[in-house]
Each structure stands twice: as structure tokens, then as C-alpha cells.
Amino acid sequence: MELVYTIYLFLNLAPWLVLGLPPIWTQPEQVHLSYPGVPGSMEVTWTTFNKTDSTVEYGLLGGRLFDLSTQGNSTLFVDSGDEKRAMYIHRVILIGLKPTATYVYHCGSDEGWSDVFYFTALNDSVHFSPKFALYGDLGNENPQSLARLQKETQMEMYDVILHIGDFAYDMHEDNARIGDEFMRQIQSIAAYVPYMTCPGNHESTYNFSNYRNRFSMPGQTEGLWYSWNLGSAHIISISTEVYFYLDFGQELIFRQLEWLEKDLQEANHPENRAVRPWIITMGHRPMYCSDDDQDDCTKFDSYVRLGRNDTKPPAPGLEDLFYRYGVDLELWAHEHTYERLWPVYGDKVYNGSMEQPYVNPKAPVHIVTGSAGCRERTDKFNPNPKDWSAFRSTDYGYTRMHVVNASHLYLEEVSDDQNGKVIDSIWLVKEKHGPSAWL
């Protein structure tokens, strides 16, 4: 009996003898920043696999390390895959930062600290000229542009990065381990500058739960739609995906529309538009594109552009709304190419003039930039683009945007295939903003 019991005990313990005790995971990882939209603030988000406190310790560059400390909290995120992998997403909002000052920080708790990173608090002046890198469709596999973006970000070429949907390919895969690995990959940029996002179709699994849980955008919509200001720009981020995944709730289309109209109205109050004349939108699926696939934008009746009439009630699209409120620039991705459009509305070109199409354009300007690099490679173009197509490239790369002042905005496209060569650029010049600029 005694012997049997001993053997029984041994067999029970056998897994521990072979594998050791289960590890504990209190070490912070996947550190990234975002801008909560309030001057002098910055949000730090990271992951641990066991529950810990959420603390950011920081200090001015050149000053005493970590003499400031702010607490936040964490939420438990359980992925919906078979393994139901669980992780804690920590969020800490730093406030009262000195604009343009550089801070050194780490995050975690007494059970483990991250590496040391730095960031520069955004200049809150409306005269500030922010520089952005922007792209969509960056994956865990074949993230072609990532190395160049890492180096340029660490060289402080950008104040903010905009990732216009489609992350990791896909964050939920391998029980969300692909999401973890992707968030580790982008830490080398996203821990240094605010990494602002919108959802794409590759985030749709489990109702966008990996997207909604892993990022921390302004507003109360788990990053689905929100807006914020920087320099002379008002930047609006939307979910084009509400038009495509009706099973997650048709009401999301209308909730977003209602919010959008209010936000655009507010941004157009004369006293607001006077100081932040640029209204820039970002959303994943374009209204227009000339790619050779069956995507929404390849059809004349794009859902994003014209809405859907198979919903109850019919859902208006976004082209008219953006036009009525004088949106200046619309940034898109999804197509794994780069395409610049002449000013366009209702499928027609409205150049400023034949010689200077982007000087006082009579309609919004669209840029489609989804070639950062992912396992799906790049897309092909339709050989006969419409009149609105101004420049196209199938090189891997990303876009740079410089909002210089109230009248001048500069855009350029970087080819990663051509070692960082700038293959396209424009100056968008507007003496007047708002719907009256179209007349």
C-alpha cells in the first residue's frame, strides 16, 4: 500500500519533475506609446502575462533618472482562440509633460522593468510643424519597411507614426502569439513616438478584440474612431470596417457617422478651423484605387465612398460628408501599393489648376499607402487607371507627411525597394480651407 502510494505520488509529480515549476511572466514587453490628445500627455501601454502593478518611472533627459513616477492599471485580455491565452495590458497616462522636452522612461513594476526608452513630449503650439510617417499593411512576416522606419524613428525624423490598419497578419493567429510577436517588432519604433492606429480587415477576427485590447487611442471607442489635434491639423481616424462586418453590428456604421458629423462640425467652428485649418482623415479601405483586384475601391460604388443600401436603414457613405465639411486630405491603405490621386470628388478630377493641381484644389486629395510589407506581398495595378490616378508604385515603402503651416503641407513616398529613395512628392497648398475652398 505504502509503495503504491509512493508511486502514485511520484507519477502525479512527474510533470513538474520533467518540466519544472511553471514560469512566471512579470516582465514587461510590447511597450508602445500613444498620444491621448491632451497637450502635455503621453500614454504608455505594455503587456505582462502575469498580473503586476502598472508604473511608469521617468525623468527629463540629462536629469536624474526616474525621479517621476505615475501609476496606471491593467486589464485582463483573454484571446478567443482555443488556448484562451491570457495577458494583462497595462496603461499609464503621463500628464503635465513639458512640451518639446525629451523624457527617459521605463515601465513595469517591482516585479520587472522594461528596457529604457525615450520620447519627446509633443509641442502643443498650433504653429508647430509635425512630421509623420504613415503606412498600412505591415506584417509580422516580410515587414519590408520596418528596419528603415526603426532607424529613422530612432534618429528622431518623426513626431508621430500613423498605422492605417492591417497589423501583423494576423494578431489573433497562433492563439495571438503573432500579435505578441508583432507588438515586440514594432516596440523599436512605437516605444519612441506615439503610434496612432485605425482598424483594418485583418483585425476583424473575434470582433477586432486583439486590436481593441492592444492599442490605446483617444476617446472611449477602443480605438475604432477618434480624433485629435497636432500643430495646425485636426486628425480623424475611422473604421472603414463597420461597412463590411455587419454581423458585428450595423449600428456601428450609424454610431460612427453620428460621431463623425459632430466632430467635423466642431472642427469647422470658425474659431477652431482658424487655428487648425487642416482636416486630415485616416481609414483603412480607400474610396478610390486602381489596383487589379476585387476590392471595394475597384468598384464604382465603393461602400466607403457611397454607403450601402442593403442595410436598414440604408447607410450613407463618407465621400459627401467629407466633402461637405471641407476635409483636405484623406489617407488610406489596404491596397499593397502606393497611389496618389488628383483632387477628386464624385469620381471627377477637380484640380486647383492644370499647371498646379494641388494649389487650392477644388476637392479633397487622397493618398493610398499600404505597401509597408506583409506576407501577402504587393498588389498589381489595373493597366487602365481612371483620370484621377496621378502616380502609382508597387514598390514596398511608406509615406512621409510634414504639416508645415496653415497653408503648406508636404507629402513624399519612400521606396524601400530603392534603398529609401523618394519616388514621389507633392506640396499641397491651400490659402483657404473648409467647404468654401471648393468654390
Q: Is the distance from CB of 124 to CB of 154 less than 8 angstroms?
A: no
Select the residue whose beta carbon is closest to Fe ion and give its number.
Answer: 334
Say whether residue 288 binds ligand NAG (CB under 6 A): no
Q: Name residues contacting ligand NAG, limited to 125-164 (CB under 6 A).
A: 125, 127-128
Least distance in angstroms from the C-beta of 398 to Fe ion: 15
- Partner from ligand NAG, Fe ion, none binding residue 76, C-beta < 5-8 Å depending on class: none
Of the residues 24, 65, 95, 147, which one makes contact with ligand NAG according to CB under 6 A: 24
The nearer residue to ligand NAG, 136 or 357, going by C-beta atoms, is 357
Strands 160-163 and 348-349: unpaired
Q: Is the distance from CB of 368 to CB of 338 less than 8 angstroms?
A: yes
Site residues (vs Fe ion, CB under 5 A): 166, 200-201, 334
Least distance in angstroms from the C-beta of 220 to ligand NAG: 10
- Partner from Fe ion, ligand NAG, none binding residue 334, C-beta < 5-8 Å depending on class: Fe ion
Say whether residue 309 binds ligand NAG (CB under 6 A): yes
Q: How far is CA 192 from the centre of its chain?
A: 15
Q: Name residues contacting ligand NAG, limited to 336-365 (CB under 6 A).
A: 342, 349, 351, 354, 357
The nearer residue to Fe ion, 89 or 186, going by C-beta atoms, is 186
Please tell me the distance from the alpha carbon of residue 388 to that of residue 341, in angstroms, as a whole number.
Answer: 5
The nearer residue to ligand NAG, 169 or 358, going by C-beta atoms, is 358
Q: Is the distance from CB of 201 to CB of 284 less than 8 angstroms?
A: yes
Residue (of 40, 58, 44, 43) closest to 122 by Cα position? 40
Residue (of 335, 357, 226, 243) closest to 282 by Cα position? 226
Taking the alpha carbons of 369, 373, 374, 377 in that order, is the dihedral positive or negative?
positive
The nearer residue to ligand NAG, 213 or 227, going by C-beta atoms, is 213
Q: In which element (H, E) is residue 29 found?
A: strand 29-34
Q: Is the distance from CB of 389 to CB of 339 less than 8 angstroms?
A: yes
Of the residues 28, 36, 72, 373, which one makes contact with ligand NAG according to CB under 6 A: 72
CA angle 284, 285, 289 (to 5 degrees): 130
| Segment contacting ligand NAG by CB under 6 A, of 22-30, 110-118, 142-150, 178-186 | 22-30
Q: Is the distance from CB of 101 to CB of 58 less than 8 angstroms?
A: no
Of the residues 69, 73, 102, 265, which one makes contact with ligand NAG according to CB under 6 A: 73
Least distance in angstroms from the C-beta of 146 to ligand NAG: 28
Task: Please spell the DSSP secondary structure of 341-397, one letter per residue.
Answer: E-SEETTEE--S-SS-TTBS-SS-EEEEE--SB-TT-PPPBPSS--TTEEEEE-SSE
CB count within 10 Å of CB 76 equals: 10
The nearer residue to ligand NAG, 287 or 374, going by C-beta atoms, is 287
The nearer residue to Fe ion, 166 or 416, going by C-beta atoms, is 166
Site size toward ligand NAG, by CB under 6 A: 30
- The DSSP symbol for 219 reads S
Least distance in angstroms from the C-beta of 291 to ligand NAG: 19
The nearer residue to Fe ion, 152 or 166, going by C-beta atoms, is 166
Least distance in angstroms from the C-beta of 126 to ligand NAG: 9
Q: Beta-strand (E) ranges in 127-277?
A: 131-135, 138-139, 160-163, 167-168, 195-197, 226-230, 233-237
- The DSSP symbol for 426 reads E
**Residue the block writes with cell 512579470:** 26
Of the residues 6, 100, 154, 425, which one makes contact with ligand NAG according to CB under 6 A: 100
Say whether residue 199 binds ligand NAG (CB under 6 A): no
Which residues here bind ligand NAG, judged by CB under 6 A? Answer: 22, 24-25, 49-50, 72-73, 86, 93, 99-100, 123, 125, 127-128, 207, 222, 248-249, 301, 309, 342, 349, 351, 354, 357, 404-405, 407-408
